[in-house]
Structure 1
Amino acid sequence: MYSIEQINYIKAPAATIYKALTTAEGLGQVWTRKLEVKPELGFVNVFDFDEGYLTKMEVTDLQADTLVSWKCVASDQEWVGTGISFELTEEEKATKVRLNHHDWRELTDYYRWCSYNWAMFLFRLKKYTESLN
């Protein structure tokens, strides 16, 4: 199995970033505006990227201000069964956000393209949450 791992350092409190990753307001600013999300274990978040199918992520772990984890239950076939986690660690001057998109079955061009897009996701998360301070 393979993983995409990315890190970004964001000059915002972990609580602000956690809220952005668990609410429609926050995810609507950094991922897609067409969504239905709840910060509730077992809830299946739904994201629509206008690609002809919905991406559905079951919320598998929530630890206030430190961890958000999802399992993909519907999407592009390469995503189904993969997991995504966001670990938040407050450091001296920033919050470290460690993204891990794990359990990829193989290294494909789509995997590589998603790696790039996760980096862009973290960049948008940084811009959005830093603008709230």
Structure 2
Amino acid sequence: MSYNIYHNLIIEVSPEQVFVAVSQPRYLDNWWTLKSSGKPELHAEYNLNFSDTYDWYCKVSKIETNKSIHYKMLKSDDDWNPTTFGFDLESTQNGTMVKFSHINWPELNNHYKYSSFCWAMLLSGLKQYLEKGIIVPFNERN
């Protein structure tokens, strides 16, 4: 059995703007990572760096420009290694419906619960970044 995290939110910008923010490393660094690298292409590898201890890797497992991007973890915490996280985007009257998922967690443990909370906070930061241009300094992000 595996466990999944889902969060949906509306961001009042275009799907193209959201897609860039969740797929381009220089913009990922504005709301999530300390520094990252990679290209939004199928099977491309990304480096997600949060610190010397948390220097993770994933690959693009699904992509449709301006509509969807999913990342399969390759090297991370043991709990994260079997997981895939992604963003599915739908245009709405008020902007973009972001359907976030982080699936295939091996255990319903404290790390899973904490990660779900952190994703909610980070997605709120993504919303603030895209709608208002607010960039929370990395050391202040949860």
Task: Bin the TM-score by the shorter chain.
Answer: over 0.9
Give the secondary structure class of the aligned counterpart of 1:118. Answer: helix
What does residue 123 of structure 2 align with? 122
Task: Tell me by how many angstroms 1:51 deviates.
Answer: 5.6
What does residue 55 of structure 1 align with? 56
Contact 2:34–2:51 (CA under 8 A) maintained in structure 1: no
Letter aligned with residue 108 of structure 1: N
Distance 1:27 1:131 in 2: 16
Q: Equivalent residues in 2 for 1:60-79 (5 A)?
A: 60-79=61-80
**Number of aligned residues:** 132
Task: Tell me by how many angstroms 1:131 deviates.
Answer: 2.9
Distance 2:45 2:72 in 1: 9
Identical columns (%): 29
Structure 1 runs not aligned, ≥5 long: none
Distance 2:92 2:48 in 1: 31
Structure 1 outlier segments of 4+, above 6 Å = none
Task: Tell me if 1:29 matches 2:30.
Answer: yes
Distance 1:49 1:83 in 2: 18
Give the secondary structure class of the aligned counterpart of 1:32. Answer: coil
Which whole-Å deviations, capped at 9, do the CAs of 1:108-132 have from their partners, x for residues lacking one?
Answer: 0000000011111111111111136
Letter aligned with residue 32 of structure 2: W
Distance 1:121 1:3 in 2: 17
CA RMSD of aligned residues (A): 1.2
TM-score (norm 2): 0.88
Task: Tell me by how many angstroms 1:31 deviates.
Answer: 0.6
What does residue 114 of structure 2 align with? 113
Letter aligned with residue 27 of structure 1: L
